[in-house]
Amino acid sequence: MKKRFAVTFLSIFFISGCGIFETRQPQPPQQGRTDFLPPASPNIVIQNLVNSIADRNVDNYISCLSDTSFGGRSFSFVPPADVYNQYRSIFLNWDKNSERAYFNNLTSQSSNSSSSALILSSANLTYQGSDSAIYNANYTLLWPNKVPGYPQQAHGNLQFSLGIDRNQNWSIYRWVDSRVGDSLTWSEMKARFSQ
């Protein structure tokens, strides 16, 4: 009798749909928002850069720049001549570590309630063979910060030289910033927030 009761109870238990043996959908991992795509083309690098600024994600921003440890070329940044002359000590040895420091400082001095954005226009991409390309565009960088009286945006023209590394990933190895009109340039924003 006890045996029959146990078998009946177990049968009802399994038929009732308790679900202990059913597979369920895994929960997504808890992490910050990221839109970084494998950089399989120059256009993806540019989109990753735009996304990293919108997300204020320093790791994704730095990942858009060339890395010599993966066989990429050494990264260089060229500000407009007048900005270089004014901030020579800052830009003399500018490298990826400088980019990281600037981006972190800018992020730390920004309002959490406001949005940042990189808006590109009049863009042109020209391949220089199968392993390099030149990207040229006018830019507007919108980045509200908490520094009293300091501009919240920069304007200019950028030219990226992009190359491919041994992992077949594209990245920016040379960045030339040019002034357009008398607006604050991205270089000036980098100089201000690198200190």
Looking at residue 177, its amino acid is D
79 within 8 A of 177, measured Cβ to Cβ: yes
- Helix ranges, the chain (H): 2-15, 42-55, 58-63, 81-86, 88-91, 96-108, 186-193
Task: List the structure tokens of 152.
Answer: 């919240």
Please tell me the distance from the alpha carbon of residue 189 to that of residue 186, in angstroms, as a whole number: 5
pLDDT of residue 30: 35
Instruction: Check pLDDT > 60 for residue 13.
Output: no
pLDDT of residue 34: 65
What's phi and psi for 15, nearest 5 deg?
-75, -30
List, edge to edge, every strand of the sheet that includes 132-142: 76-78, 170-178, 153-164, 132-142, 117-127
Instruction: Check pLDDT > 70 for residue 164.
Output: yes
Instruction: Check pLDDT > 70 for residue 21.
Output: no
Mean pLDDT of the chain: 86
pLDDT tens-digit profile of 109-121?
A: 987 778 999 999 9
Average pLDDT estimate for 146-161: 92
Instruction: Check pLDDT > 50 for residue 42.
Output: yes
pLDDT of residue 195: 75
Domains, the chain, with CATH or none? 37-193 (3.10.450.50)
Comparing 15-19, 36-40, 121-125, the range with the smallest average pLDDT is 15-19
Please tell me the distance from the alpha carbon of residue 53 to that of residue 167, in angstroms, as a whole number: 25
pLDDT tens-digit profile of 121-143?
A: 999 999 999 999 999 999 999 99
Tell me the CB-side half-sphere exposure of residue 34, using CA atoms within 13 A. Answer: 13
142 within 8 A of 117, measured Cβ to Cβ: yes
138 within 8 A of 180, measured Cβ to Cβ: yes
